[in-house]
Amino acid sequence: MGAGNCTGVSQFLLLGLSDDLELQSLLFGLFLSMYLVTLLGNLLIILAVSSDSHLHTPMYFFLANLSFVDICFISTTVPKMLLNIQAQNKDISYIECLTQVYFSIAFAGMDDFLLTVMAYDRFVAICHPLHYMVIMNPRLCVFLVLMCWFVILSVSLFHILLMMWLTFCIGTEIPHFFCELAQILKAACSDTLTNDIYLYVATALLFAFPFTGILFSYSQIVSSLMKMTSSEGKYKAFSTCGSHLSVVSLFYGTGLGVYLTSSWTHSSQRNSIASVLYTVVTPMLNPFIYSLRNKDVKRTLGRLLSRGAPCL
């Protein structure tokens, strides 16, 4: 495409997951169902934590924040995709696209940070149980969450400021179901070297350091468990980490799948399908993992659901 066709644009075209009209109807029903399940599951987690005084602990405080972030994460991408399918329209405005990029980076990063903070919480609870309430006091918990928000929102904002210097060709097509930063950079007409460098550095720092923190926390937890003589104590301590380990595995597993897919294949469709696992499936499964593996959450949810059931 010639340089004369490259200018400031007002909209992009999101190609989505498929051009097949029959398949699009199926995708609409599938993604709408997953979106509603995600909203319901995570809202129930937030409601359970806020309504039960027994769940007013650091672990559940972070869990409620994780559920809130998951709701925001999936709401950044899926509603626009559903709207485009329903209207049979692929347009997304330039401002909407920048907004999607900003919040998708922010909420993905917050997921990562919160999982790291939750690993630290489990480390203190198991390795320093006598000092747990002193160390993980409410002030520290709020400070950790606010600090995570400050860092990730600043990083996301810098991505957007760099993107605003780019020019795009008229009729730019994004081979994805939402405005993913890597795909946007590939579609740019102007040089993206600075953007690419910042993307790689930010990704490495924001994912490598938290993942290292999680590994360190669990190495200390395993070391502490090995020193326990009581098998019952070991089981009780490990059971408190089971849900978190499952969510960490799901988050990093799907994230790694997206990275490997984009690196090893040039198929935009495969990359989009891999991104579905990361942006849609993971937020949907998180509340089920925590509710099914946690007796306290199951008990509270059961009480809430039975209270809301109509009397026959």
Q: What is the pLDDT of residues 171-199, one digit of tens each?
A: 788 888 889 888 899 888 888 999 999 99
Predicted local confidence at residue 167, as pLDDT: 87
Predicted local confidence at residue 71, as pLDDT: 95
* 278 within 8 A of 28, measured Cβ to Cβ: no
In angstroms, the CA 165 to CA 192 distance is 9
101, 228, 117, 209: which is closest to 164 by C-alpha?
101
Predicted local confidence at residue 267, as pLDDT: 57
Predicted local confidence at residue 305, as pLDDT: 73
| % of the chain exceeding 70 in pLDDT | 88
Question: Which tokens hold the place of 211?
Answer: 């993942």
What's the chain's average pLDDT? Answer: 84
pLDDT higher than 90, residue 260: no
* 272 within 8 A of 177, measured Cβ to Cβ: yes
Predicted local confidence at residue 264, as pLDDT: 59
pLDDT higher than 50, residue 4: no
Which of 140-149, 161-170, 203-212, 262-271 shows the highest mean pLDDT? 140-149
10-301 has which fold?
Answer: Rhopdopsin 7-helix transmembrane proteins (1.20.1070)
Predicted local confidence at residue 309, as pLDDT: 55
* Cα→Cα distances 221→214, 225, 237, 239, Å: 10, 6, 9, 12
pLDDT higher than 50, residue 311: no
Predicted local confidence at residue 43, as pLDDT: 93
Place of tokens 């070991």: 234
Map residue 137 onto helix, strand or coil.
coil
CA angle 58, 205, 184 (to 5 degrees): 110
304, 310, 308: which is closest to 51 by C-alpha?
304
40, 25, 36, 140: which is closest to 88 by C-alpha?
25
What pTM was computed for the model? 0.89
129 pLDDT band, cuts 50/70/90, is confident
* 204 within 8 A of 39, measured Cβ to Cβ: no
In angstroms, the CA 256 to CA 262 distance is 10
Give the residue, 103 or 240, on which the prediction is more confident: 103
